[in-house]
Amino acid sequence: MKTISLAAVALLLPVYGWTQNAPANPAPYVSKVWVSDQGNGTYKNPVLNADYSDPDACRAGQDYYIIASSFDAVPGLPVLHSRDLVNWTLIGHALKRQPPLDHFAKTQHGNGVWAPAIRYHKNEFYIYYPDPDFGVYMVKATHPAGPWSEPVLVESGKGLIDPCPLWDDDGKVYLVHGWAGSRAGIKSIITVKQLSPDGTKVIDEGAIVYDGHETDPTIEGPKIYKRNGYYYLFAPAGGVPTGWQLVLRSKNIYGPYERRIVLDQGKTPVNGPHQGAWVDTPPVKGKPQQDWFLHFQDKEAYGRVVHLQPMRWINDWPVIGVDPDGDGKGEPVLTYAKPAVGATYPIATPAESDEFNDLKVGLQWQWQANPKGTWMTTSKLGFLRLYSWKVPEEAKNLWDVPNVLMQKLPAEAFTATTKMTFTANPKLENEKAGLVLMGQSYASLAIRSRKDGLELVYGVCRKAVDGKPEAEQVLAKLPNGTIYLRMRMTGGAHCQFSYSLDGKSYTAAGEPFQAEPGKWIGAKMGLFCTRTTQINDSGFADFDWFRVEPNQ
């Protein structure tokens, strides 16, 4: 595994508020609804209990970085940091806006950034990511928190997915990738191509090195490594909800490859454990170096959450998880001793709540398309202001509205509450602002402006993905635009919306709603402010805060 010098590590530390002699500042965010670190030297899975789909990771010195698919969400390509593989902090995004810019100015559910790969090479971080409709892109950075370079199209084409680079010992550079049958007309095969020395261009037509049609249908997401003279392809197969983790090895990068299943569900409740990253621990005096594997589990409306598995090598084959019968095929752990990284680090989780007191919103927030500068402001006013924006003519419901600001669901059970003050434009009617739980079907609780004042509306849109209209229920006339909006999620992704005029007593809004996944993602929760008419100005909604707390 690639590492960097201690001097280089020292240069990286101040970027994240660390110094060699002082603790991190400010204190890391700690979720109130899910923490993996159990505080006793062990952790519980998932280590990231949110939809960080198709994770890949690398180590640089003592630091770990993980990235994930982001599809059409902007900013895209989230980058998270950890020192121990258990406590993770979201530190930035590698993609500020998604190219082609005009194409992604509209919602593109299920399109955009598919499974990416991150590698550290010669003091730079590289991310290769696929857009199945346009090709394989590369971005790079000196510091993983950014700034990242503008995307370079490494190879154009349809159906090129899940790329991963390898800088070989002889100076050659390779790219391994899979194929999306929906675009390429073929799937279940893995291709290896050669890259230019700077990694910016594919320079040959490549070769198919593995055909999984007979034994490993839907093999995809390959990650390539080299160890002890072997080339290893780690790849998931068998489909997302029920598949397994495959490892192929060969002394020649073009094969032939030996095959072995190294991880599957076994007798555990962790369905389809696969697709992820092999990393090792940094050298620690007096302790053997350890190997670990990060992968996802598909939990439907909750998305693809990230698990951490112990890994060991036996006869140059990896064994992932625990292997009670010794057949070389592991199964996932639910709890385990934390990685031996030589120190104990503070508990940390990706942020969920946001007081909106800073110049920018928290890194957890993403739009449904490339954003416009007129959609929002914070300006350190102590609240987030969303300006109403006209819904696109072709939009049948919120599914196709770009200016919806959302974040991932953080746990199976939680309560999210926001305080909103809506100021309608008196020249407009049907401005609308509120809280939404978005998926292929969705529900929302919002204030809408009418000629005779403001009304509270509970909306449910079933089969939003198919363009079905939203069914609305007017709950109350409102004396003013200040209201508290709440959604309470319980096990099985059941959600009950409610509202309050005083922040103390809450009234249920409509019937409980069954959350649904989005397109290749889990459901999301978020905020919106829209209008149906275009004039020379807009109304706005001020969100004082957004808080995620345990259910009461």
Are 447 and 432 in contact, with CB atoms under 8 Å apart?
yes
Are 65 and 55 in contact, with CB atoms under 8 Å apart?
no
Are 454 and 501 in contact, with CB atoms under 8 Å apart?
no
- The one-character DSSP state at 285 is T
Coil, helix or strand for 105?
A: helix
Longest C-alpha distance within the chain, in Å? 76
Burial of 315: CB neighbours in 10 Å, binned 0-12, 13-18, 19+: exposed
Are 331 and 322 in contact, with CB atoms under 8 Å apart?
yes
For tokens 């990230």, name the residue.
Answer: 306
Beta bridge partners of 447: 433, 456
Tokens of 470: 């939203």
Catalytic one of 54, 162, 264, 291:
54
Whether the bond between 288 and the residue before it is cis, its omega within 30 degrees of 0, is no
Catalytic one of 220, 264, 516, 542:
220
The radius of gyration computed from the CA coordinates of the chain, to the nearest angstrom, equals 24
Alpha carbon distance, N-terminus to C-terminus of the chain: 46
Exposure pattern of 433-457 as b/e (b: 16+ CB <10 Å)? bbbbbbbbbbbbbbbbbeeeebbbb
Is 216 a residue of the active site? no
- Nearest alpha-carbon partner for 549 in 483, 486, 499, 482: 486
Is 516 a residue of the active site? no
Are 162 and 220 in contact, with CB atoms under 8 Å apart?
yes
How far apart are alpha carbons 249 and 23 in whole angstroms? 42
Are 77 and 88 in contact, with CB atoms under 8 Å apart?
no
What are the distances in angstroms from CA 522 to CA 64, 187, 304?
25, 24, 7
Coil, helix or strand for 519?
A: coil
Catalytically active residues, by annotation? 54, 220
